Amino acid sequence: MSAPRLPHHSIAVRRALILAALAFIGFFLVLPLVAVFAEALAKGFATYGAALVEPDAISAIKLTLLVAAISVPLNVVFGLCAAWAIAKFDFRGRSVLVTLIDLPFSVSPVVAGLVYVLLFGAQGWMGPWLIEHGVRIIFAVPGIVLATILVTFPFVARELIPLMQEQGRADEEAALALGASGFKTFIRVTLPNIRWGLLYGVLLCNARAMGEFGAVSVVSGHLRGLTNTMPLHVEILYNEYNFVAAFAVASLLALLALVTLVLKTSLEWKFGYSHGSAR
Amino acid sequence: MEIALSSQLQMQAAIERPQRCRRSRKSIIPGFGLTMGFTLAWLSLIVLIPLSALFLRAAGLGWSEFLTVGFSERAMAAYRISFGTALAAAALNGVFGLLTAWVFVRYEFPGKRLLNAMVDLPFALPTAVAGIALTALYSPNGWVGQFLAPLGIKVAYTPLGIVIALIFIGLPFIVRSVEPVLADVRVDVEDAALSLGARPWQVFVRVILPAILPALLTGFALALARGIGEYGSVIFIAGNMPFKSEIAPLLIVTELEQYNYAAATAIATVMLLASFAMLLVINLIQAWTRRKVDS
């Protein structure tokens, strides 16, 4: 993306446009990020640290890690299966399938949470049966995991599908023709080919899984210490006017976002990997 | 919808490519039954069955109740606020996102790569964090709010605050949609237009804008679709006053908390249909783009 020479733009116009864009990015992207850390440290490092080691904060951090540890691998397995089926075979209705996989991106997170309440909640279809058998899904961890899987559903699949389609089938066919088993072909040939795309998808999927708010908020029930993920804990602290603690927990999530951005950007720079835009 | 449209475009182009040589040999690659079976089963369990459950539940309400609770005055006000603010934010993003993309593609300046990476921040930053940070900035005694308050401009706890939150959320959709297309616009065509006596603004309107319009529209539609359903970043800054600053997703949550399942279901169905409509529009824009590119 090197800038082409532009003889017809006066330097003044160019400078004004750059300044306007910088001001816009500064106001809308940089300033909120700085505000998170400034508010978190407003009363010093001791208060900041105390907010992070408080038992409810610890259990929120643990729950967030647990939810991501379950939902991200499941999405990886799904993404690999979907991409294999769609990229390596010809069948009718492929674009319909791709559209259906994309569907969760366009559903409001609140609606994504609600559908599970309607299925598994006390007033839901399976509610009475679940209560009878002592299974809790809504207002419990399984509901949070389900809602997280739904909102992160397309992330890995849609990184892998175009990538594997572009790579074609010749490598796999060669390995198979030389006598490798299907599984070995996948591990030795396909996986190395798609590893950066897979990592890219996992990064984005994980960031969303750990940060999801709306869908999880609907199914969680906000039980402190039990069903509160980090974003929900931030909300509770904030609504209690405990701003420093709220921003302290939020700063951890902001750090996660920064790490995600750094890794994602270095993948793009080093391997020229980018989701479609420059590939 | 996080991932820019261009990947969707490429995905569809890639899907259509192999179909032209469909009558090719039977693949020797194994695993179709297994992977396809798992894909369909998992898709049905996680996405299709739960979403159909919502529609079935809404159908169970019957028309008259659906219309009564789904289009009550409060619900109508919430739709107006959700759609209105999302539209305003997407439009403002259309202008500033285009400006940002232009500056990134056409000019060199120190820190450009870093700032370009920052554009994806709204994709990575949890919405609740964005929400409380923006509220802190724009509340009457916040860093930005304190300068606006003497001017009589209230941002936090008004619909204006919702627009600010949705600008944050929607910005990357526009920038990432427009950037690659803008980079492909040939400078020599601009030079030709200029040497034939066109003014710079004429070159922009007649040469550049038509080329990037499909990408700009797609970005606009993606940002709009995301804005309509957005919850986490909005509820902190909105004030959440019924009829004034209450968005539709929040109304769903409120009804649910009061065990008004009928109202929650009806409003959610309207929102889901709206997102299907947006999805259709986005696909139509992309089909139009492909036709334009092909011809």
Tokens matching residue B259: 């065990």
pTM: 0.89
Buried residues in A20-32 as b, exposed as e (16+ CB within 10 A)? ebbebbebbbebb
User: In which band, very low, low, confident or very high, does the pLDDT at A50 lie, cut at 50, 70 and 90?
Assistant: very high
pLDDT tens-place string over residues B37-51: 999 999 999 999 999
Element (H, E) at B294: helix B261-294
A145 to chain B: which residues are within 8 Å by CB? Answer: none
pLDDT tens-place string over residues A211-261: 999 999 999 987 777 889 999 999 999 999 999 999 999 999 999 999 999
Contact A52, A248 (CB under 8 A): yes
- Residue of B14, B128, B194 with shortest CB distance to A165: B14
Neighbouring CB atoms inside 10 A of A56's CB total 17
Q: What is the pLDDT of residue B11?
A: 53
Q: How far apart are CA A154 and CA B122, in angstroms?
A: 18
pLDDT surpassing 80 at residue A38: yes
Q: What is the pLDDT of residue A134?
A: 87
Q: How far apart are CA B17 and CA B15, in angstroms?
A: 6
Q: Is B280 exposed, middle or buried (0-12, 13-18, 19+ CB in 10 A)?
A: exposed
**Which residue of chain A has the CA closest to B7?**
A276
The proportion of chain A whose per-residue pLDDT surpasses 70, expressed as a percent, equals 94
Tokens matching residue B48: 């299709």
**Which residue of chain A has the CA closest to B120?**
A261
Nearest-Cα distance to chain A for B78, in Å, is 14
Q: Is B249 in the A-facing interface, judged by CB distances under 8 Å?
A: yes
Averaged pLDDT of chain B: 88
Q: What is the pLDDT of residue B14?
A: 52
**Which residue of chain A has the CA closest to B100?**
A21
What is the phi/psi pair of residue B65, to 5°?
A: -70, -40
DSSP codes of every residue in B28-94: ----HHHHHHHHHHHHIIIIIHHHHHHHHHHHHH-HHHHHHHHT-HHHHHHHHHHHHHHHHHHHHHH
Q: How far apart are CA A278 and CA B113, in angstroms?
A: 14
User: Do residue B107 and residue A18 have CB atoms under 8 angstroms apart?
Assistant: yes
The highest-confidence range among A2-6, A103-107, A273-277, B167-171, by mean pLDDT, is B167-171
Q: Looking at beta carbons, which pairs linking A268-276 to residues 24 or more positions away fall under 8 Å?
A: A269/B113, A271/A196, A273/A196, A273/A197, A273/A200, A275/A159, A275/A200, A275/B3, A275/B4, A275/B6, A275/B7, A276/A162, A276/B3, A276/B4, A276/B6, A276/B7, A276/B8, A276/B9, A276/B10, A276/B11
Interface of B with A in 173-232 (CB under 8 A): 176, 179-180, 183, 187, 190-191, 194, 200, 203, 225, 228-232
Q: Is B277 in the A-facing interface, judged by CB distances under 8 Å?
A: no
Q: Where are the alpha helices (DSSP H) in chain A?
A: 11-25, 31-40, 44-53, 55-88, 94-102, 109-120, 127-132, 141-152, 154-167, 170-177, 182-185, 191-211, 214-220, 230-239, 243-271
**Which residue of chain B has the CA closest to A32?**
B133
Tokens matching residue B168: 């944050």
User: Do residue A250 and residue B31 have CB atoms under 8 angstroms apart?
Assistant: no
